[in-house]
């Protein structure tokens, strides 16, 4: 499949939808004549020393981008000539994904350690041109911090997407692979443009039909899909069902120590790799939320994962094993029961027991992608085990892409968190990159937020979270402001008013959402099952009351070692001490770690109850400010994108008011303490 202009192939989209479809690869014409002449002088001729399908995609992209922005396609030659040109070549002395770009008026160079690195370098160059950055004299060196930079699709073969908020699957429809392969191609292009190099294409909750993805029923189409992603330097993985030996193998057991089960997986691995030789490996969710796993047979997770790892090892395959494991049937009325402890309790005793081609996938917090929770203590706890950090781009608990919430500031806090695993300065970003414990496999993964909506992400501004995720995990030292600024310029242009107002909208949006929803680290308080909208006593698997333990005297969960669940003991001493004491615990996580009176004074000087009232009123006001700023942008962009976002913001405001009124009323009635500003609380 060759690169083609999406405008000529996405026939189902109207002209005004195509702008949104292009996302951050707008490549709008540049009218500034001096800049156009600079680009034409530097990039009029491209000398390519090496060719393969990945480099061909890079050349396609460079030619298409320059044609759209400057109005010409560069000449491509095989040999250096005595004229100004850009020389593109693979340098075997470079690390595999490292690239350098050096541009001057005579000869310019783009060197990469692999064809994949060349592709990343071309996208980097086009990113700079879209922002109209000066290129003459440019000298940059880029090496990704994380070796594996992955997306998890939670797509089901019936065409639905679990926690999908942007339409149906682009991969499947009616239990078959989608016939729209171009849409998958375009998605691979978007992911590659921000440095993503791995993807799973099916849900971690694998149903019986998806179990057949590793059989001849679907393997030919898996191969076709893998080939599309391979063109863009992206390795395909599959989620598997741990009970596949029973569901598709005709066995009566999935016991990892059963010789028949081990033989089943060895045969499966051999055949899968015969058909899909570039497959990265398998992703497994086991023993959680009613998923099958080794616990059924009295085995531990190392025994389960290692059995698969042995089957995959001859082919270089990896086993990604999720640490989202907890007993969803436990009695939540018992205040010593604590789901936050589960991952650490299950996996820390197994540290060092996993094979070299196994990697544990750990959610960024101990719970489930809440608006505010501490960093999982497994990160910094495990020292002898490969590990991935898992984020969720899909806004499951953060407004489900109906609300505008920029997630990079949240993820930055996670990555900068000091675990003290090897003393001060042992940050999460250092650990998950593999640098601290010299891991064999390392990186970051996230749950995708895309679907078949014309703009990919439902909410147009949610494209920023997909873009930002790729840029952040390539270089965790980028600031949230730098990433947002890049995206704004590429997506909406370089006008100072556009930049100013959009930055003022997106940068505080995480805090805004937190203000009108869940205060001080409580989390949850959403409707069960679909997780949208306020339900203060709502919580999955919990039919007996509240998760936050609010009563007439106070609220919060006691997770201290001295009087609570003991969760704080899972951290290294410095963080354990920080969280253990009410006096030192950060206010934003206070109610995650402590049960306190409503009259407890925060470090701001406000009481807990007044903080709840104030932030919920403030959050609504902040959404109103967002709307005013967005309205002021109407003349700076196409009507379709402006209208689409305006409609989402209208909904966000109404939902924010609902949150404000329900939360404030609930805690007013619980506490009996009035708002000191005498605002209306029903």
pLDDT score of 105: 84
Assess whether pLDDT exceeds 90 at residue 539. no
Token pair, residue 322, equals 């999720």
Characterize the bridge pairing of strands 554-555 and 596-597: antiparallel
Assess whether pLDDT exceeds 70 at residue 333. no
pLDDT digits (tens, 9 = 90+) for 371-414: 999 999 999 999 999 999 999 999 999 999 999 999 999 999 99
pLDDT digits (tens, 9 = 90+) for 247-270: 999 999 999 999 999 999 999 999
pLDDT score of 591: 97
pLDDT digits (tens, 9 = 90+) for 95-134: 999 999 999 988 899 999 999 999 999 999 999 999 999 9
Q: List, by residue number, the catalytic residues.
A: 289, 368, 396
Token pair, residue 607, equals 């009481």
CA atoms of 120 and 125, how far apart (whole Å): 9
Grouping H, G, I as helix, E, B as strand and the rest as coil, residue 20 is helix
User: Pick the residue with more confidence: 289 or 144?
Assistant: 144
CA atoms of 574 and 566, how far apart (whole Å): 15
CA atoms of 312 and 586, how far apart (whole Å): 44
Characterize the bridge pairing of strands 139-142 and 99-102: antiparallel
The band of 543, judged by pLDDT with boundaries at 50, 70 and 90, is: very low
pLDDT digits (tens, 9 = 90+) for 440-464: 999 999 999 999 999 999 999 999 9
Residues 329/540, Cβ–Cβ less than 8 Å: no
Residue with tokens 């998958």: 184
Q: At what angle do helices 219-230 and 181-193 cross, to 10 degrees?
A: 40
pLDDT digits (tens, 9 = 90+) for 411-424: 999 999 999 999 99
Mean pLDDT lowest among 2-16, 210-224, 387-401: 2-16
The band of 10, judged by pLDDT with boundaries at 50, 70 and 90, is: low
Assess whether pLDDT exceeds 90 at residue 547. no
- Over residues 272-301, the mean pLDDT reads 94
The band of 334, judged by pLDDT with boundaries at 50, 70 and 90, is: low
Residues 6+ apart with CB under 8 A from 298: none
CA atoms of 51 and 59, how far apart (whole Å): 10
The band of 84, judged by pLDDT with boundaries at 50, 70 and 90, is: confident
Assess whether pLDDT exceeds 60 at residue 2. no
- Over residues 69-81, the mean pLDDT reads 94
pLDDT digits (tens, 9 = 90+) for 161-193: 999 999 999 999 999 999 999 999 999 999 999
Assess whether pLDDT exceeds 90 at residue 60. yes
Q: How many other β-carbons are positioned within 10 Å of the β-carbon of residue 353?
A: 16
pLDDT score of 38: 96
Which residues make beta-bridge pairs with 601? 607
- Over residues 452-477, the mean pLDDT reads 98
pLDDT score of 6: 46
């Amino acid at each position: 499949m060759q690169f083609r202009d999406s405008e000529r192939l996405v026939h189902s989209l109207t002209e005004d939808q195509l702008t949104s479809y292009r996302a951050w690869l707008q490549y709008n014409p540049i009218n500034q004549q001096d800049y156009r002449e600079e680009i034409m002088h530097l990039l009029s001729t491209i000398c390519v020393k090496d060719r393969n399908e990945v480099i061909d995609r890079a050349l396609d992209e460079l030619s298409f981008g320059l044609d759209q922005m400057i109005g010409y396609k560069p000449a491509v030659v095989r040999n250096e000539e005595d004229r100004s040109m850009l020389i593109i070549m693979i340098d075997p002395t470079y690390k595999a994904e490292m690239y350098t770009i050096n541009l001057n008026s005579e000869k310019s160079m783009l060197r990469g350690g692999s064809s994949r690195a060349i592709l990343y370098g071309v996208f980097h160059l086009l990113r700079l041109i879209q922002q109209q950055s000066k290129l003459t004299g440019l000298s940059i060196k880029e090496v990704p911090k994380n070796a594996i930079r992955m997306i998890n699709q939670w797509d089901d073969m019936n065409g639905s997407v679990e926690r999908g908020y942007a339409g149906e699957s682009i991969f499947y429809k009616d239990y078959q692979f989608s016939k729209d392969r171009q849409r998958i191609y375009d998605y691979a292009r978007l992911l590659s443009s921000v440095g993503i190099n791995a993807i799973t294409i099916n849900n971690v909750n694998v149903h019986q039909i998806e179990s057949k993805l590793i059989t001849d029923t679907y393997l030919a189409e898996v191969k076709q899909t893998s080939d599309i992603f391979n063109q863009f330097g992206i390795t395909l993985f599959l989620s598997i069902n741990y009970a596949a030996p029973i569901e598709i193998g005709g066995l009566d057991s999935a016991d990892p120590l059963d010789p028949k089960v081990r033989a089943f997986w060895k045969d499966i691995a051999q055949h899968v790799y015969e058909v899909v030789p570039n497959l990265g490996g398998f992703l497994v969710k086991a023993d959680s939320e009613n998923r099958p796993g080794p616990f059924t047979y009295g085995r531990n997770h190392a025994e389960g994962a290692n059995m698969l790892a042995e089957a995959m090892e001859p082919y270089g395959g990896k086993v990604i094993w999720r640490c989202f494991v907890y007993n969803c049937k436990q009695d939540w009325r018992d205040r010593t029961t604590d789901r936050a402890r589960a991952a650490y309790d299950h996996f820390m005793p197994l540290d060092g027991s996993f094979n070299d081609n196994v990697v544990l996938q750990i959610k960024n917090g101990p719970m489930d992608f809440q608006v505010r929770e501490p960093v999982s203590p497994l990160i910094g706890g495990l020292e002898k085990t490969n590990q991935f950090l898992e984020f969720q781009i899909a806004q499951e608990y953060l407004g489900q892409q109906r609300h505008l919430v920029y997630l990079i500031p949240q993820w930055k806090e996670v990555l900068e968190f000091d675990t003290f695993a090897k003393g001060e300065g042992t940050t999460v970003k250092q650990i998950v990159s593999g640098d601290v414990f010299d891991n064999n496999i390392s990186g970051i993964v996230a749950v995708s937020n895309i679907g078949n909506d014309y703009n990919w992400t439902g909410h147009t501004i949610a494209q920023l979270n997909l873009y930002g995720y790729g840029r952040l995990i390539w270089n965790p030292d980028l600031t949230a402001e730098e990433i947002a600024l890049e995206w704004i310029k590429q997506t909406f242009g370089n006008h100072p008013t556009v930049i100013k107002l959009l930055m003022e909208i997106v940068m505080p949006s995480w805090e805004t959402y937190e203000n009108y929803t869940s205060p001080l680290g409580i989390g949850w308080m959403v409707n069960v099952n679909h997780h949208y909208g306020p339900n203060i006593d709502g919580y999955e698997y919990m039919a007996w009351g509240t998760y936050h333990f609010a009563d007439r005297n106070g609220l919060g969960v006691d997770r201290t070692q001295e009087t609570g669940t003991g969760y704080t003991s899972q951290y290294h001493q410095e963080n354990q001490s920080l969280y253990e004491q009410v006096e030192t615990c950060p206010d934003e996580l206070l109610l995650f770690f402590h049960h306190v009176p409503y009259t407890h004074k925060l470090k701001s000087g406000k009481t807990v109850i007044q903080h709840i009232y104030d932030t919920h009123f403030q959050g609504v006001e902040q959404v109103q400010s967002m709307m005013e700023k967005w309205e002021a942008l109407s003349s700076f962009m196409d009507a379709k994108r402006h209208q689409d976002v305006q409609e989402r913001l209208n909904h966000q405001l109404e939902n924010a008011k609902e949150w404000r009124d329900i939360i404030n009323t609930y805690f007013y009635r619980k506490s009996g303490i009035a708002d000191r500003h005498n605002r209306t609380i029903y």
